[in-house]
Structure 1
């Protein structure tokens, strides 16, 4: 039995508040920096109150961008990152759930071997196989395209493993009942497995969306045209100032805007995300 002591409750909330402040303070500083003029942070004194350049800074970055650094408008980079993250998330979930369904419910030779081959690819991320993957994408003419940005990243051994483990907990009586009713494998998958997998799908969607959103190395290799820059590439391009002082207000405005889509995804899917990670009985 857990004792309900007032001191422990106060201490727990105090630790949580301190943790939130530690995590949120850099985000607050980034937002404050985006509301001041470019030289406010070069003088060595960091202002902690909002400035009067909010609309000018954000309208410039969302409109024309910072042409001096050769970066496109932020809205275009946000759109590219959103397309890439959504394609990776949906692609990973679709391929993984179908792979797990085949491994668990179909009896064919070497199905366990196929699963372990998929699982072993966890030791071969994109960074390890970057050269052959780039060669394949280049030979197929997919450089500077959404297909080149997304297709090499949509396979996921982790998601396949998680779906397989969940499908193995689904009672066999459901499969037998659907078989008695004359349902085929895909109808069983669509009418029974998909509805009970919603929380798992939601949790994996959040994780995979953020995974696609923060990609840097692969977009850096396969994109040379500004029309396909992602937001992470744009931030790096803004900061790569060789002989000039970085415009920190523009950089921090871009950083602040880059945080909005993943934060919105987490907030909108928070309940399903938590249930998908913590529920043990479906």
Structure 2
């Protein structure tokens, strides 16, 4: 399922560390990795030469740090707008996964600061593993999947099970926010077996022999105030991930590309409420965002 990985590096952040940890998973140890660094346009030939040399060093350092099988690693140094080039290279190599750093900016901040990760998240249909600068990277043993009735959530489940395949001591956590629960403590009263969404997911996990645990919540509290429904659900998913000490959170993201003009960021939807946006910004662990239309 993940045979080709694109790692976008800038010399800062935890993207390289995330890939090194990711590469320890048995299911992706034979995956091919392309390490990309993009040199932005410069005002003079002298500046371009300096940046080009700097970019070469960044790539060399990244590959040395990763210490992967040389036959599985390649590098690309390219000039252009980073946000455009990442999308272009991902399409050229038909990447199954993009890994890149993120400052974890909120939506409006991302637009104003011309965030590369936000742009790629907005326009690419490929699964993206975003690693914020302020999080701690841990060895992956425990993966949480945010489950609902959508096809995207089912795809996320398959992706998580693929990653956990043949991993000793692995645990899959299935998180479901059930607003119909009646428990005053915030915990839903339905058992996992009574929850139709979780029952199907549990059965699927058993086929892979992966240890599974369910975390179910109503996602309600007396402190919600003016938080939107997606914000409440997003906050609860982040809380459950923290409480369960997960190493990776997998969540579905709707196709956020504009239906009329694919080459322009859809500002209305970008500024609107989104569960995946909330989790992307607020989660304290790496977040893998996936869509059913992934190539």
TM category (shorter chain) comes to: under 0.3
Instruction: Determine which structure has the larger helix proportion and give its number.
Output: 1
Q: Which has the larger radius of gyration?
A: 1
TM-score using structure 2 length: 0.21
- Pick 1 or 2: higher relative contact order, CA cutoff 8 A, min separation 6: 1
